[in-house]
């Protein structure tokens, strides 16, 4: 009796274990639907979500479907589409093919079929070249640029819907996928290195750069890395919007997150909910600038002649060009030594920043025009008074001095011409030589023939140099559209 009971107990235990194993396998199969080779395995799942042939990154379902499609990394890498970026850049290119695909093709189709956005999956990445910390910044900013782009063109703000946003600092997994799709002869070597690195991007970079004496790295740099500089998206739309209630805003990350950070060994970084909810960042519109070389001016034969120098720069929403106006005021009068440095200079200029995209930092060219009125004296018998104007071109470079970017350092140099009409003046009567305590124009002819500003001078060459500090003082309100 005891033996039969023991056998039955063992049989029951084995039966339970087998059932648990089967349930586990079924659960795992359900979670990995749509993964692996990118196809959807479950027939019922395929009926719930329809993947558009012309837009493989778009899923459409009936409004009764409340569970989002499962988008694992392998499926995302196969179907996602998005914006490509230039090396070390985060601004959107106006001629990017995705813009036309999305605005001119997908959105009209969506509106025609009365579809409503339900969920967004976004991933931004950087290619492996360059410093790792800078790639962290690039992947984060590129992710935000794509979300901003979607915000501008969807009927309702993307922030009204669940957004799953990730940033991959250096996307080696996608690199391996691209090499596999291309049938690359070195695919297996690169894949083995990625797997051996245990998803440690820094270690993977070192191993790849050493592969085949660096030849493989150079080839990957030209052949695959430009494709890795992307921010890609997968979208889920639903039909029959009249039966669907708009979902509340859901974030893919903890709402208590305050800032983006990367821990050792991490490869994926998520954008805080607070940043996702802000549709557009606050953008600078007007900044003031001062030229430190003018503020602390030293003139040979005169000495220190500091002045007030202020410039204002207007930044449009996008593009390469900014508009500047400046004024320099110097008013030094030393009556005891007859030394004078009185300058009133007004200048207008247009700048073209090479970087573009509305960031307005880095190298630039400018064209300027100016008007000046002056009185300069280096002693009793060396003084000039007059007016003049000129124009020219300049070069410069601007750097951010803080993380917010509202404080900047700039160096510049200008080349051009300056034409002035003037009269020399002296202390004392130039005709009879008497020192009467007055200043006279230095003229020795017949006074009836005297003409004011009878002298003319033209200068062609360097006209200005500067070390500037710039600070933003007026911003555009949040929510103003930003075209990147």
Domains annotated on the chain, with CATH = 31-277 (no CATH), 284-475 (2.40.160)
Return the higher-pLDDT residue of 430 and 128.
128
Burial 334-356 (b: 16+ CB within 10 A, else e): eeeebbbbbbebebebebebebb
Return the minimum-mean-pLDDT range out of 191-200, 276-285, 446-455.
276-285
Q: What pLDDT shows up at residue 459?
A: 95
Q: What pLDDT shows up at residue 303?
A: 86
Assess whether pLDDT exceeds 70 at residue 219: yes
Q: What pLDDT shows up at residue 28?
A: 32
pLDDT band at 208 (very low <50, low <70, confident <90, very high): very high
- Which class for 181: exposed (0-12), middle (13-18), buried (19 or more C-beta within 10 A)? exposed
pTM of the model: 0.47
For 234-252, how does the pLDDT look when each residue is reduced to its tens digit (9 = 90+)?
Answer: 998 888 644 444 343 333 3
Q: What is the mean pLDDT of the chain?
A: 79
Q: For residue 123, give Cα distances in angstroms to 224, 302, 357.
A: 18, 62, 21
Average pLDDT over residues 410-421: 96
CB proximity list for 402: less than 8 A, separation 6 or greater: none
Q: For residue 67, give Cα distances in angstroms to 46, 78, 157, 210, 238.
A: 13, 21, 21, 45, 11
Assess whether pLDDT exceeds 80 at residue 418: yes
Assess whether pLDDT exceeds 80 at residue 265: no
Assess whether pLDDT exceeds 90 at residue 29: no
As a whole number of angstroms, the distance between CA 447 and CA 440 comes to: 12
Q: What pLDDT shows up at residue 45?
A: 52
For 307-350, how does the pLDDT look when each residue is reduced to its tens digit (9 = 90+)?
Answer: 889 999 999 877 789 999 999 999 999 888 889 999 999 999 99
DSSP strand pairing (298-299 vs 339-353): unpaired
- Which class for 23: exposed (0-12), middle (13-18), buried (19 or more C-beta within 10 A)? exposed
Closest CA to 119 of 248, 19, 9, 231: 248
As a whole number of angstroms, the distance between CA 324 and CA 286 comes to: 10
Return the higher-pLDDT residue of 7 and 387.
387
Instruction: Identify how many contiguous H helices and E strands the chain contains and give both numbers.
Output: 13, 18
Q: What pLDDT shows up at residue 273?
A: 42
Return the higher-pLDDT residue of 20 and 301.
301
Average pLDDT over residues 260-272: 37
């Amino acid at each position: 009796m005891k033996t039969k009971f023991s056998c039955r107990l063992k049989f029951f235990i084995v039966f339970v274990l087998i059932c648990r194993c089967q349930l586990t396998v079924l659960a795992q199969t359900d979670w990995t639907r749509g993964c692996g080779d990118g196809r959807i395995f479950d027939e019922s799942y395929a009926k719930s979500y329809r993947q558009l042939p012309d837009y493989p990154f778009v899923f459409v379902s009936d409004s009764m479907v409340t569970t989002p499609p499962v988008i694992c990394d392998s499926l995302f890498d196969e179907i996602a589409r998005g914006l490509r970026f230039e090396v070390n850049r985060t601004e959107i290119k106006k001629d990017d093919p995705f813009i036309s695909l999305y605005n001119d093709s997908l959105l009209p189709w969506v509106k025609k079929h009365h579809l409503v956005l339900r969920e967004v999956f976004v991933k931004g990445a950087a290619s492996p070249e360059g410093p790792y910390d800078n790639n962290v910044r690039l992947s984060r900013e590129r992710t935000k640029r794509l979300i901003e782009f979607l915000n501008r063109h969807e009927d309702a703000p993307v922030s009204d819907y669940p957004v799953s946003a990730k940033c991959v600092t250096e996307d080696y997994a996608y690199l391996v996928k691209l090499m596999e799709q291309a049938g690359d002869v070195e695919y297996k070597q690169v894949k083995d290195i990625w797997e051996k690195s245990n998803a440690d991007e820094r270690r993977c970079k070192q191993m790849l750069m050493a592969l085949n004496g660096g030849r493989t790295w150079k080839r990957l740099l030209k052949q695959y890395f430009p494709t890795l500089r992307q921010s890609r998206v997968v979208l889920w739309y639903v039909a029959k919007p009249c039966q669907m209630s708009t979902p509340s805003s859901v974030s893919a990350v903890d709402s208590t997150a305050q800032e983006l950070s990367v821990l050792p060994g991490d490869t994926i970084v998520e954008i805080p909910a607070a940043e996702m909810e802000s549709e557009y960042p606050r953008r600078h519109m007007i900044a003031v600038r001062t030229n430190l070389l003018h503020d602390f001016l030293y003139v040979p034969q005169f000495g220190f002649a500091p002045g007030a120098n202020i410039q204002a720069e207007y930044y449009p929403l996008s593009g390469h060009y900014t508009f500047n106006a400046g004024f320099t005021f110097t008013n030094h009068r030393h009556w005891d030594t007859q030394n004078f440095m009185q300058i009133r200079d007004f200048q207008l200029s247009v700048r073209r920043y090479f970087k573009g995209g509305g960031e307005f930092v880095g190298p630039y060219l400018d064209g300027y025009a100016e008007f000046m009125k002056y009185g300069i004296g280096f002693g009793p018998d060396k003084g000039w008074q007059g007016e003049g104007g000129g124009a020219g071109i300049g070069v410069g470079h601007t750097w951010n001095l803080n993380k917010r970017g509202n404080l900047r350092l700039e160096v510049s140099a200008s080349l051009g011409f300056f034409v002035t009409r003037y009269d020399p003046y002296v202390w004392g009567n130039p005709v009879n030589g008497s020192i009467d305590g007055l200043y006279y124009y230095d003229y020795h002819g017949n006074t009836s023939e005297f003409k004011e500003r009878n002298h003319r001078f033209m200068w062609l060459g360097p006209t200005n140099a500067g070390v500037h500090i710039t600070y933003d003082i007026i911003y555009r309100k949040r929510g103003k559209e930003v075209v990147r």
